Structure 1
Amino acid sequence: GPQAGESCAAHTRMLVPKDKYKQAAKKAVEVAESLTIGQSHDPKAKLGPVISKTQQERVRGYIEKGVEEGAELLCGGAEQPEDLPKGFFIKPTVFGKVTQDMTIAQEEIFGPVLSILTYEDEDEAIEIANDTIYG
């Protein structure tokens, strides 16, 4: 399977129309909660550890910053997964009500973190899509 730190751990942003936010958030949480985390050699594991302690701390820092900046933590979080006390694991984390000025919307995180941004109309969607540091 893919090595730790590869594309399965890429940070993603989801742009949804405001009136579809509740459905999108519910679905995203279901998906995140279905991702079994574990060692790369565990056949049940869909999500391995991140590459290093430094990377784990960096991703956790982003999660804490998301909470601090007012994003809604829908699932996951910065703590070590209960059933995996050792290893560089990050809980699959979903943030809702993310705005484009938040750090988690602007920067590449390289961890299992999803940010859901909402928009009112197509113009705003295009603006959000274009307005990112790595866009």
Structure 2
Amino acid sequence: MIASRPADRSSCEIIGDKIDFLRDVQRIASGYDQYEPLMDDLLDRILSHDECRDYTIKKFEQMLDEIDWDCVVILQFCMHTLKWPTIKEKAAALLAVTDKINAERWYRHVLESFDDNWPDRDLWERYAPSDL
């Protein structure tokens, strides 16, 4: 793993705020198209602030611990690009021990997003094949 420069706390906090805001927005939105620009913005920010990787991993791990559908959507969208092994490993470990049917489904959805042929990628303009 390549060492990164010390994190600029404000940049990392902005990522955290964007994640929290997205979770709130998803609860009132009526479709993915209403918050996809926010998802793009979040992912672009994560990609441009590698110094916040540890902070963001902790935030994503917390989301896995608190798994609900809103967490799944954000994790899928981001992990399809990021493919961070730490998140994949944690989702697989939680899947192996959960006894909750919904949580099992949600962890499986998160794990599917690591695949280049993720079935839900066409829901998002960012990932939809250009020939659709």
**TM-score normalised according to structure 1 size:** 0.33
Between 1 and 2, higher relative CO (CA 8 Å, sep ≥ 6) is seen in 1
1 or 2, which has the higher strand percentage?
Answer: 1
1 or 2, which has the higher helix percentage?
Answer: 2
**TM-score normalised according to structure 2 size:** 0.34
